Amino acid sequence: MTAPLPRENIEALAKIAVDHYGTASQLDVAQEELAELVVAISHYRRGRDENRKRIIEEIADVVIVVQQLRLVFGKQEVDDVVQQKLRRLKTRIREDRAEAGQATAVIGSDANGQATIQGG
């Protein structure tokens, strides 16, 4: 098994792919990969395909194509909106926990960058 590519290499390869195949082609690929993930999840949920490996493979395809989309539409702008949406999610989780009568939790991340909820 090969070692994973560091993030900067994924971004570099994403740029090469967009430059090589063109934006229009990679937008088509993005639609196809996203649709394949939707189908895989649908089959999994309905019990038609209990093979987690298929979903994992489709997620990997989507992660790769999303790197390309970040470059096409503006990496910093996309990353900024992602941060805004993560903050909104964090607020919603806190509000949901408060409504359920759970103690207010501290939502953060550990040394490995994994999400944590402390308290409540």
pLDDT tens for 19-31 read 999 999 999 999 9
Chain Cα centroid distance, residue 21: 23
Winning range, highest mean pLDDT, from 4-8, 68-72, 97-101: 68-72
Structure tokens at 64: 């790769």
DSSP code of 6?
A: P
What pLDDT digit, counting tens, does each position of 23-75 carry?
999 999 999 999 999 999 999 998 877 788 899 999 999 999 999 999 999 99
DSSP code of 120?
A: -
- Give the Å distances, CA to CA, from 95 to 84, 88, 100, 118: 17, 11, 9, 15
Question: 110 or 101: which carries more pLDDT confidence?
Answer: 101
Q: What is the mean pLDDT of the chain?
A: 88
| 1 has a pLDDT exceeding 80 | no
Domain boundaries, the chain: 1-73, 75-120
**Cβ atoms of residues 78 and 72 within 8 Å:** no
Structure tokens at 20: 């090589």
